[in-house]
Chain A
Amino acid sequence: MSWDLRDLYQETILDHQKHPRGKGNLPDATHSATGFNPLCGDKVTIQLRINDGKIDEIRFDGEGCAICMSSASMMTVSLQGTPVSDAEDLFQRIQKFLTANDESAAMEDIDSLGDLAALGGVRRLPVRIKCANLPWHTFNSAVHGEQNAKTE
């Protein structure tokens, strides 16, 4: 395997793809949204139970590529039990990390991202950024009460 592929499909990504965390249905969700990438057919549903400004529970479901599914899985781990304001802050940092044109700006917060830094491999492959970003945009739509998310 070439260096580029190892960079994209890091162990963390493959692990979350093979053993997804936070996958399933949340019957008592207070917020939910479904994100769809019409370009490739990736589809992610995010369900949240928010109580008193805190994400008590988060689940994802859907089908898509390894990048999209592991991004969703990692997201549930990062956001479970966090205040909504912290989650929104992380959403903003992820946006910068994945999409900032300036490499040094993108890397500014990398130390605070933990496992999520493994998603950074998509920066070299512009067509795959949406795959990593779809769960995050869907989360953002769910929090803001929009039912349909999209990445473009």
Chain B
Amino acid sequence: MIQELPKISISLFPKSDFPNLLTLVNGQPLAYLDSAASAQKPHVATEATSMFVEHQYANVHRGVHTLSQLATDAYERVRDQVKVVLNAADRNEIIFTKGCTESVNLVAQSFARPMLRPGDEILLTELEHHSNIVPWQLVAQATGAKVVAARIHDNGELDLEDFKSKLNANTKIVAFTHISNALGTILPAKELTAMAHAVGATVLIDGAQSGPHAAIDVQDIGADFYVLSIHKMYGPTGVGVLFGKLNLLEAMPPYQGGGSMIRSVSFEETTFAELPAKFEAGTPNIAGVVGLGATLDYIAGKNWNRETWVNRISEIGDYEATVREYGVSLLAEIDGLTVHGDAEEMAGIISFTVKNAHPHDLGTILDQHGVAVRAGHHCCQPLMHRLGVPATARASIAAYNDLEDMDRLAAAVQSAKELFG
């Protein structure tokens, strides 16, 4: 007798490493497919964070006492780790913020705003998240500059011709996402950066989605600014990263004033601290940053280095692509289902709509089956408008998802389809 081989369904990160993935939702085991919104946290990292808070915690960069030194060492060690993750040239190019959104706003307000003049242009793309649109609109309104968006093709790929045609001598800032959160398109960051630099523009890359899925090399890309969202990288909320080239950060005025970011203060004059302190006013999210360090150790293993990090994160990206491919093949068999985004280079995101079933209804029905997806505009209203849909359902894949999650997604969508005919 021929036995059917069991489907290989072991995820790259064991689900059991993530306590929340073992939760029952509506009586069903959880298939968590919303990591692009926020990823679940590995137990070892949250445990390490609470160990730090309970046994090593004090404020950083202030005290001469032992705990303050321990906490400062733990915090600054993570800056070195992030430098390796991004392959930055200098540790002072790494600024901790409270999130990716704050990182973009910092650059918009501290770098762009003092420099922009009426008639200058800020070039974005139709794929951008609201957090890489609105901060630029705010500085455009304040300076008289203009926001321009490069078009995409119907398959979700950036229209390189259109991008190129919108670059000109007035283009001062070019800001684009490395991986689209709504569709999963991977943009050719190095090529786009070179094109932007050719007209003298400064480039910010939104790495909110690329951080947990792709090897990033800011020197190779040539990025002037690169921003990360840590809670999407299995780390804690309330932590973001801004990478900026040293000469740019040095020339920029501070974003916020407060403690830590000063050298000397009198009521007549204040001189500012050196990098990175200049951009880290006030007490930072110390526990969050330490938690990020523990999370990076979980992802890449103890004593990791640039080479092992790149290998591991590439393995994660490849694994997610395999799971995505399987999921797309299952969904493609469902009549009336459209997958949005079919670019050559795709990350682990499946954005889809089903005829006669609104994404919100899909979201509710899938939830009743224990399948968690995002339903809505994904903070990308201009993109939804471009695609001609009010919203989509989005399944996003992380290293802890497996093929069975895709089976359950497809089965739940099928049952929703039966309901709405």
Interfacial residues, chain A to chain B (CB-CB below 8 A):
1-2, 4-5, 8-9, 14, 17-18, 39-43, 63-67, 69, 125, 128, 131
- From A17, A18, A69, residue with most partner B Cβ within 10 Å: A17
Q: Which residue of A lies closest to B377 (CB)?
A: A41
Q: What's the least CB distance linking B364 to chain A, in Å?
A: 6
Residues A41 and B361 in contact, CB atoms below 8 Å apart: no
B419 and A4 contacting across the interface, CB-CB below 8 Å: no
Contact A65 B376 (CB under 8 A): no
Q: In the complex the two chains form, is A40's CB within 8 Å of B419's CB?
A: no
Asked whether, in the complex, the Cβ of B376 is within 8 Å of the Cβ of A41, the reply is yes
Known: A14-B420, A43-B390. 17 other contacts (CB 8 A): A2-B369, A4-B26, A5-B364, A9-B365, A14-B419, A40-B360, A40-B375, A41-B377, A41-B384, A42-B360, A42-B390, A64-B360, A65-B358, A65-B360, A65-B361, A66-B361, A66-B420
B420→A64 contact, CB < 8 A: no
Which 5 pairs of residues, A with B, have the shortest CB-CB distance? A65-B360, A65-B358, A41-B390, A66-B361, A65-B361
Count of A-B contacts judged by CB separation below 8 Å: 54
A4: nearest chain-B partner, CB-CB: B368
Q: Select the residue from B356, B360, B391 with max chain A CB neighbours within 10 A.
A: B360
Q: Is the CB of B421 within 8 A of A39?
A: no
Instruction: Check B376–A125 contact: CB distance below 8 A.
Output: no
Does B390 contact A8, Cβ atoms closer than 8 Å?
no
Most buried by A among B358, B359, B377: B358
Q: Which residues of B approach A to under 8 Å, CB–CB? A: 26, 356-361, 364-365, 368-369, 375-377, 381, 384, 390-391, 415, 419-421
Q: Distance in Å from the Cβ of A61 to the closest Cβ of chain B? A: 13
B356 surroundings in chain A (CB, below 8 A): 18
- Nearest residue in B to A63 (C-beta to C-beta)? B390
Which residues in B have their C-beta under 8 angstroms from that of A63?
A: 390
A-B contact pairs, 25 of them (CB 8 A): A1-B419, A2-B368, A5-B364, A5-B419, A9-B361, A14-B420, A17-B420, A40-B375, A40-B377, A41-B376, A41-B381, A41-B384, A41-B391, A63-B390, A64-B358, A65-B358, A65-B360, A66-B357, A66-B361, A67-B360, A67-B361, A69-B358, A125-B364, A128-B364, A131-B360
Closest chain B CB from A152 CB (angstroms): 15
Most buried by B among A1, A17, A41: A41
Nearest CB in chain B to that of A66: its residue: B361
Closest to A43 in B: B390
In the complex, A120→B235 CA distance in Å? 39
Q: Is the CB of A5 within 8 A of B391?
A: no
